Amino acid sequence: MLARLLEGDSPVDVVGVVTQPDKPVGRKQTLAPPPVKVLAGRREIPVLQPVSLRRPASVAALARFSPDVGIVAAYGKILRPDVLQLPRHGHLNVHASLLPRWRGAWPVGAAILAGDDVSGVSIMRLDEGMDTGPVLAEHREPIRPNDTTETLERRLAALGAGLLVETLPAYLAGELKPQPQDDARATYCHVVSKSEGQIDWSQPAAQIERHVRAMTPWPGSFTTWEGKQLRIVRARAAEGVASGAAPGTVVRHDGGAAVVTGDGRLLLEEVQLEGKKAMPIQALLNGYRTFVGSRLGAG
Largest Cα–Cα separation, the chain: 68
Tally the domains of the chain.
Answer: 2
pLDDT for 168 equals 97
Q: Is the pLDDT of residue 76 over 80?
A: no
Distances (CA, A) of 179 to 81, 139, 157, 296: 20, 15, 22, 49
Q: For 157-201, how does the pLDDT look when each residue is reduced to its tens digit (9 = 90+)?
A: 999 999 999 999 999 999 998 999 999 999 999 999 999 999 999
In the chain, % helix, strand, coil (3-state, to 5) comes to 25, 25, 45
- 3-state secondary structure (DSSP) of residue 30: strand
- The Cα 102–Cα 205 span in angstroms is 24
Of 73, 39, 212, which is closest to residue 156 (Cα–Cα)?
73
Strands (E) in 162-217, as ranges, are: 188-189
Task: Work out the percent of the chain whose per-residue pLDDT is above 90.
Answer: 91
Q: For 95-114, how does the pLDDT look when each residue is reduced to its tens digit (9 = 90+)?
A: 999 999 999 999 999 999 99
Could you tell me the end-to-end alpha-carbon distance of the chain, in angstroms, rounded to an integer? 46
Cβ-contact 173, 94 below 8 angstroms: no
Q: Is the pLDDT of residue 285 over 90?
A: yes
- 3-state secondary structure (DSSP) of residue 57: helix
In the predicted model, what is the mean pLDDT of the chain?
95
- The Cα 257–Cα 290 span in angstroms is 12
Q: What angle do CA 293, 298, 299 make, to 5 degrees?
A: 135
Of 74, 79, 110, 93, which is closest to residue 211 (Cα–Cα)?
110
- 3-state secondary structure (DSSP) of residue 209: helix
Q: What's the mean pLDDT in 251-269?
A: 95
H/E segment holding residue 256: strand 256-260
pLDDT for 74 equals 85
Instruction: Give domain status of residue 218, yes or no.
Output: yes
pLDDT for 130 equals 93
DSSP secondary structure letter of residue 163: H
Instruction: Give domain status of residue 296, yes or no.
Output: no
Q: 59: buried, middle or exposed (CB in 10 Å: 19+, 13-18, 0-12)?
A: middle
Domain end position, chosen among 141, 169, 189:
189
pLDDT for 114 equals 98
pLDDT for 299 equals 62
Q: State whether 61 and 124 are in the same domain.
A: yes
- The Cα 97–Cα 104 span in angstroms is 10
Instruction: Give domain status of residue 89, yes or no.
Output: yes
Q: How many helices (H) and strands (E) does the chain have?
A: 8, 16
Domain end position, chosen among 131, 158, 189:
189
Instruction: Give domain status of residue 298, yes or no.
Output: no
Q: State whether 235 and 119 are in the same domain.
A: no
Q: For 64-75, how does the pLDDT look when each residue is reduced to its tens digit (9 = 90+)?
A: 999 999 999 988
Taking the model in full, what pTM does it have? 0.94
Q: For 194-240, how does the pLDDT look when each residue is reduced to its tens digit (9 = 90+)?
A: 999 999 999 999 999 999 999 999 999 999 999 999 999 999 999 77
Q: Looking at residue 47, which CATH number applies to its domain?
A: 3.40.50.170
The residue range of the domain holding 261 is: 194-287
pLDDT-based confidence at residue 244 (cuts at 50, 70, 90): confident
User: Strand pairing of 188-189 and 135-142?
Assistant: unpaired
Q: What's the mean pLDDT in 52-72?
A: 94
- 3-state secondary structure (DSSP) of residue 161: helix
pLDDT for 242 equals 67
